[in-house]
Amino acid sequence: MHLIGLTGGIASGKSTVSTLFMQHGVPVIDTDVIAHRLSQPPSTALEIIREVFGPAAIDANGALARDWMRQHVFEHADARVRLEAILHPRILAELDQEIAVLPEPAPYALIAVPLLFEADGFQARVQRTLVVDCSEARQRQRLLNRPGMNEALADAIIASQLPRERRRAYADDVIENDGTIEALADAVARQHQRYLAWTSAGQS
């Protein structure tokens, strides 16, 4: 099966694009869902996170304290590297398991990975890459609508990510998401048809 990596900056609309592709019958594996699963007990990853970051990293329910960790990562330069070293190999292992059971009749599947270009191992598993892109102003506006977000944290998150221009340069395909949901749905439908033509031509 052909695999296409879907990525984009935070609040660019990756989840919405994934949903729109699924409406066309396209299977989607979301590595954020895998990461969330690993962040819930029981999980060996949580045991290691507690050892590395201390008890504050785990909430009262035994899950990853996401708000605390998000703040900690942006206050300590090496914290993200340590957290990703714990989670990424486990995410990749579960991703491979999910790829192995994808429904064969589907001509292609999407693998949604926020750090597709930045993290080791993910891009090697796909044949094409698709970036969802929007202006930084729109990205920031959407991010500020999320619970627990403030301007300083939003700016820090955006600044920590791969610049838009580099992400677009790395991509095989780009979907713009600065307009309406209707415009986005049309863009997804057009891209889906391109991918069907690409897979039927036997390209890799």
Binding residues for ATP: 11-16
Beta bridge partners of 132: 8, 175
Residue numbers in the known binding site are 11-16
| Sheet bearing 128-133, strands edge to edge | 28-30, 108-112, 2-8, 128-133, 173-176
**Which tokens hold the place of 53?**
């970051």
Distance CA 172, CA 176 (A): 13
Cβ-Cβ contacts under 8 Å for 90 (sequence gap 6 or more): 38, 44, 45
Asked if 14 and 8 touch (Cβ cutoff 8 Å), the reply is yes
